[in-house]
């Protein structure tokens, strides 16, 4: 018996890293998954893996920051699977600089991706979730739906990340507010803040050979300095970075029925590091 049979999950940024690992986990538990990523190839690859394993998945490619994205994402779920049960706001990247060198463009790009996009997605999902919750209440049924937002240990402050840490602190406020607004709809709204997880986002920068996020016509280098990777490892009580699968496991807790009576909470998945 799979735990999430019949549920539809929408996961942003699920072509790679933590989102990808979560998509595979949710699909293995029977969920139908709407895969989003900026990049078509990794998104389609995840869809293929899920389908080959006998699951159901569909891609909705594009930047979460596009003004029409939220409606398109919700429509993809409704057109293909008739509803929404789980939304995970995970897509993201970093574009760092100290505050005196940070441009407005840099500030808004990161706020838009990590905070405005989740807000728009939840707003667009409201009519679908509300109609389903009302019909279930009228039938005397209590069905829990799940929103999981992704924050970071950086939410409590990280030099060079004024934009990212502000967005990741903001998503905690959005989580707590939505848990209050949507409790009557039986939606659990929670948040996971990650410490150091080994993904493309936290690979060592490799100068000109660094990987890039190609978003809104810009190419932003992703990765962090090796000295920061070493410092993070030293500060992590469990002694190593987490894997994408371990990180996905913490998101999965909030997607599963075991969290039906938990809402408005933030947990830190950081091997003992991080305190938001």
Ligand X SMILES: NC(=O)c1ccc[n+]([C@@H]2O[C@H](COP(=O)([O-])OP(=O)(O)OC[C@H]3O[C@@H](n4cnc5c(N)ncnc54)[C@H](O)[C@@H]3O)[C@@H](O)[C@H]2O)c1
Is 164 marked active-site?
Answer: yes
| Binding range to ligand X, per CB under 6 A, among 35-43, 79-87, 123-131, 249-257 | 35-43
18 is an interface residue for ligand X by CB under 6 A: yes
Q: Which residue is nearest to ligand X (CB)?
A: 17
- Of 132 and 199, nearer to ligand X (C-beta) is 199
Residue 16 vs 146, nearer CB to ligand X: 16
By the rule CB under 6 A, 160 interacts with ligand X: no
Contacting residue, 84, 132, 150, 169, with ligand X by CB under 6 A: 150
CB atoms inside a 10 Å sphere around CB 166: 18
With CB under 6 A as the contact rule, the residue among 4, 9, 11, 15 that binds ligand X is 15
> In terms of CB distance, is 63 or 175 closer to ligand X?
63
Distance of CA 15 to the CA centre of its chain: 11
Residue 46 contacts ligand X per CB under 6 A = no
224-232 LR contacts (CB < 8 Å, sep 24+):
229/196, 229/202, 229/204, 232/195, 232/196, 232/202, 232/273
Interface with ligand X, residue 219, by CB under 6 A = no
> Contact with ligand X (CB under 6 A): which of 19, 55, 118, 271?
19
Return the DSSP state at 139: T
Q: Please tell me the distance from the alpha carbon of residue 28 to that of residue 20, in angstroms, as a whole number.
A: 12
From the list 81, 93, 164, 252, the catalytic residue is 164
DSSP 3-state percent helix, strand, coil across the chain (nearest 5): 50, 20, 30
Q: Where are the beta strands (DSSP E) in the chain?
A: 8-11, 32-37, 57-61, 86-89, 145-152, 187-194, 212-215, 218-221, 266-269
Question: Burial, 176: exposed, middle or buried (Cβ in 10 Å; 0-12, 13-18, 19+)?
Answer: middle
Residues in the chain: 276
| Pair 11, 46: CB distance under 8 Å | no
Residue 88 as a binder of ligand X (CB under 6 A): the answer is no
Tell whether residue 165 is a contact of ligand X (CB under 6 A): no
Q: Which of residues 183-212 bind ligand X (CB under 6 A)?
A: 194, 196-197, 199-202
Site of interaction with ligand X (CB under 6 A): 12-13, 15-19, 36-39, 42, 63-65, 90-93, 113, 150, 152, 194, 196-197, 199-202, 213, 215
List the catalytic residues: 164
């Amino acid at each position: 018996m799979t735990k999430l049979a019949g549920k539809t999950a929408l996961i942003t940024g699920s072509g790679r890293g933590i989102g990808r690992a979560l998509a595979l986990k949710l699909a293995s538990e029977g969920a139908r998954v709407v895969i989003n990523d900026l990049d078509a190839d990794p998104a389609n690859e995840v869809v293929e893996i899920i389908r080959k394993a006998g699951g159901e998945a569909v891609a909705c490619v594009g930047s979460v920051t596009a003004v029409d994205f939220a409606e398109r994402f919700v429509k993809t779920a409704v057109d293909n699977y008739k509803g929404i049960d789980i939304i995970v706001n995970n897509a993201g990247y970093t574009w760092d600089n100290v505050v005196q060198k940070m441009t407005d463009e840099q500030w808004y790009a990161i706020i838009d991706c990590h905070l405005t996009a989740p807000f728009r997605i939840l707003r667009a999902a409201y009519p679908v979730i509300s109609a389903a919750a009302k019909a279930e209440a009228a039938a005397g049924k209590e069905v829990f739906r799940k929103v999981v937002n992704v924050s970071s240990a950086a939410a409590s402050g990280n030099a060079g990340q004024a934009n990212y840490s502000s967005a990741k602190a903001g998503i905690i406020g959005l989580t707590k507010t939505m848990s209050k607004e949507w409790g009557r709809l039986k939606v659990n709204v929670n948040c996971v803040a990650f410490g150091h997880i080994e993904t493309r986002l936290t690979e060592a920068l490799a100068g000109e050979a660094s990987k890039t996020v190609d978003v809104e016509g810009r190419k932003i280098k992703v990765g962090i300095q090796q000295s920061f990777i070493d410092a993070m490892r030293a500060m992590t009580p469990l002694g190593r970075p987490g894997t994408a699968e371990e990180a996905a496991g913490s998101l999965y807790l909030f997607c599963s029925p075991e969290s039906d009576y938990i809402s408005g909470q933030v947990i830190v998945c950081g091997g003992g590091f991080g305190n938001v």
